[in-house]
Amino acid sequence: MILFNPKKYDPQLLDDASKDMMKKTIEFFENKGKEKLKADDRKAVWYQDFLDFQKYNKIFARLLTPSPYGATHEYRWDTYRNCEFNEITAFYALHYWYTWQVSILGLGPIWMGQNEEVKKKTAQLLDDGGIFAFGLSERHHGADLYSTETNLTPQEDGTYLANGEKYYIGNANEAALVSTFGKIKGTDDFVFFAVGSKAKWYELIRNVVNVQSYVAQFALHDYPITDADILTKGRDAWDSALNTVNVGKFNLGWASIGIATHAFYEAIDHAANRVLYGKHVTDFPHIQQLFVDAYTRLAAMKVFSRRAIDYMRSASADDRRYLLYNPLVKMKVTCQGEEVINLLWDVIAAKGFEKDTYFEMAARDIRALPKLEGTVHVNMALIIKFIRNYFFNPGKFPDIPRVTDPRNDDFLFNQGPTKGLGGIQFHDFNIAYNSADLPNIAVFKKQIEVFKQFLMASATDAEAAKAQSRDIDFLLSMGELFTLVAYGQLIIEYRNLTDDVSDDLLDQIFDFMVRDFSRYALQLYQKPSATPAQQDLCMKMIMNPVTDRARFDRVWNEHVFALKGAYQMNP
């Protein structure tokens, strides 16, 4: 099965200790039950029961301690199994995933730094059940690192006093350590340093959100800092901030997958058991279309994200392709999660508002993920830097297999400088597209060829290109088309490496991909700065998918309707 199902969970590619952790986590939530889960959500109860559970079983410690600092071979930073945990926790509720996610962000600058004593201390704090926080954002500057007002003031004895205020910082009420970003006062030198949330110089001001998670506003008042608390300085601090985001943001797409999967089970059960006008709701053709679109989008989210794991775990200084696929997981996959919920909501209608449903939480929480850790347009601005090399200057790379083995992902904490993105090369995307001979992939390939013509025509009009390079609205729509090409590439690659995706399912996935490509092409056509030549090519990108009723029916019966009654959470 592509979709996670707690009742049938049997992760063949995990080692026994990792399987045990995941199954115990599922057992924790199923024993908690849906009624208590929902009651805690409504009352915004701090999830101490979950933190106690993970502490007792050393879940965070074993999953988030790199091998050199771990107590046994079970301790490692393994992106494959971490994504399993991402999906499981979000499947039950976003808040439980969130405390794990922001711990990952808080740990990033520590594991990427050079302070060995802090690393050893952190390993012990993790073993003791500690959670962590990432003190980056500020109320008036968001994640604009250049404008940070938090500072360390040097003292005559070589120590520092930390002052400043941070905003929207998860776990900052209970974090064992808060990795805090600032500047050395009087200089432009950046710095990461660690503070404790229980210190008397640390003021916890308030929770800025009304949910179970604690998302803090806090202030430092002459907090004494020594070199023993410094994680990184200068360019290293800047790089560790961005590289931490590379590691942590990858989790967002997996949270969307978990939420949308649980919502799908609930929606198909409701619709299949509801009779209107003498027919089951699932007998209506438009309902089947909504469900098939929701399922194929959800399957594509998971398949793409699984393949992106391989690039994350295979990355090196000479292979940084993950820097394209990573933001696609946090941007494209999370936006697709919203789309899945919207489609399902059109099916279940008013049921999606009822307080005793999981869906009511899903509809609220799925919106958060594209907006956490950077908005969509920030990630798109990054992705656009890769267009030229992706389409017109491919490099040669060895084939990357699936990477599921139980090992530590060392490179993630040694990513190096964050500059030079425009020089990153990719393998020829045509290799994947030419490996699949299906009707809708053939249509999609034609759309890609017209898009390449569009890019070449745009490059030849120097005056228009200069103006459009400053038109973010234009670039965002162009980036959506590029995103679809890379998205489809990894979906095909995953299909070629596994038996998870049938030809029927793959072709039905590209049915919505063709439609999405046409939609974004029309949006680009309508941009005020589009030239007549560009508009002509945009119109040529608009194509219809190849419809096949027999294929659609097989996907409906074998993949979608087959999930009726497949999962209900314990009450």
State pLDDT tens for residues 138-159: 999 888 888 999 999 999 999 9
pLDDT at 500: 95
**How buried is 80 (Cβ within 10 angstroms: 0-12 exposed, 13-18 middle, 19+ buried)?**
buried
Q: List the structure tokens of 224.
A: 């004494």
Averaged over 54-67, what is the pLDDT? 98
Checking DSSP bridges between strand 279-280 and strand 275-276, what pairing results, if any?
antiparallel
Integer Cα distance of 537 and 336 in angstroms? 26
Using the Cα atoms of residue 24, residue 26, residue 30 and residue 33 in order, give the sign of their dihedral: positive
User: What is each CA distance from 7 to 261, 499, 541, 569, in whole angstroms?
Assistant: 13, 22, 44, 9
pLDDT in tens, 267-317: 999 999 999 999 999 999 999 999 999 999 999 999 999 999 999 999 999
Integer Cα distance of 374 and 545 in angstroms? 33
pLDDT at 32: 98
Q: What is the DSSP letter of 399?
A: P
Q: What is residue 531's three-state secondary structure?
A: coil
Smallest CA-to-CA distance from 320 within 426, 474, 202, 241 is with: 426
Averaged over 222-251, what is the pLDDT? 95
- Please give the distance of CA 321 from its chain centroid, rounded to a whole number: 16
CA angle at residue 213 from 376 to 241, to 5 degrees? 50
Amino acid (one-letter) located at 517: F
Smallest CA-to-CA distance from 57 within 23, 96, 86 is with: 23
For the chain, the 3-state helix, strand and coil shares in percent, each to the nearest 5, are 60, 10, 30
Checking if the pLDDT of 392 tops 80, the result is: yes
pLDDT at 419: 86
In CATH, the number for domain 133-232 is 2.40.110.10
pLDDT at 373: 55
SS3 annotation, 305-353? HHHHHHHHHCCECCECCHHHHHHHHHHHHHHHHHHHHHHHHHHHHHHHH
Smallest CA-to-CA distance from 99 within 143, 33, 54 is with: 54
**How buried is 12 (Cβ within 10 angstroms: 0-12 exposed, 13-18 middle, 19+ buried)?**
exposed
Checking DSSP bridges between strand 177-184 and strand 190-195, what pairing results, if any?
antiparallel
Integer Cα distance of 124 and 505 in angstroms? 47
Amino acid (one-letter) located at 533: A
Q: List the structure tokens of 137.
A: 């954002």
Dihedral of CA atoms 271, 562, 493, 498 in degrees, nearest 10, equals: 150
Integer Cα distance of 232 and 320 in angstroms? 23
User: What is the architecture, at CATH level 2, of domain 6-130?
Assistant: Orthogonal Bundle (1.10)
Residue predicted with more confidence, 383 or 501: 501
Smallest CA-to-CA distance from 89 within 250, 307, 256 is with: 256
Does residue 216 come out as left (phi exceeding 0), alpha (psi in the -120 to 50 range) or beta? beta
Averaged over 505-528, what is the pLDDT? 97
DSSP secondary structure, 499-511, as one string? SSS-HHHHHHHHH
Q: Domain locations in the chain?
A: 6-130, 133-232, 427-551
The pTM assigned to this predicted structure is 0.96
Query: Which helix (H) or strand (E) is 166 found in, with range?
Result: strand 160-170
SS3 annotation, 267-313? HHHHHHCCEECCEEHHHCHHHHHHHHHHHHHHHHHHHHHHHHHHHHH
User: What is each CA distance from 88 to 27, 84, 107, 313, 326, in whole angstroms?
Assistant: 11, 6, 21, 21, 20
Checking if the pLDDT of 124 tops 80, the result is: yes
Integer Cα distance of 418 and 361 in angstroms? 37
Confidence band for 506, pLDDT divided at 50, 70 and 90:
very high
Using the Cα atoms of residue 496, residue 497, residue 503 and residue 509 in order, give the sign of their dihedral: negative
pLDDT at 448: 98
Q: List the structure tokens of 365.
A: 């929480």
Give yes or no for a contact between 30 and 92, defined as CB atoms under 8 angstroms apart: no
Find all residues with CB under 8 Å of 320, minimum gap 6, and list them. 424
pLDDT at 253: 96
Confidence band for 374, pLDDT divided at 50, 70 and 90:
low
C-beta neighbour count of 108 within 10 angstroms = 26
Find all residues with CB under 8 Å of 448, minimum gap 6, and list them. 433, 485
Query: What residues does 164 pair with on adjacent strands?
Result: 220
DSSP secondary structure, 27-55, as one string? HHHHHH-HHHHHHHHHTT---HHHHHHHH
Query: What residues does 233 pair with on adjacent strands?
Result: 191
Q: List the structure tokens of 15.
A: 């080692």
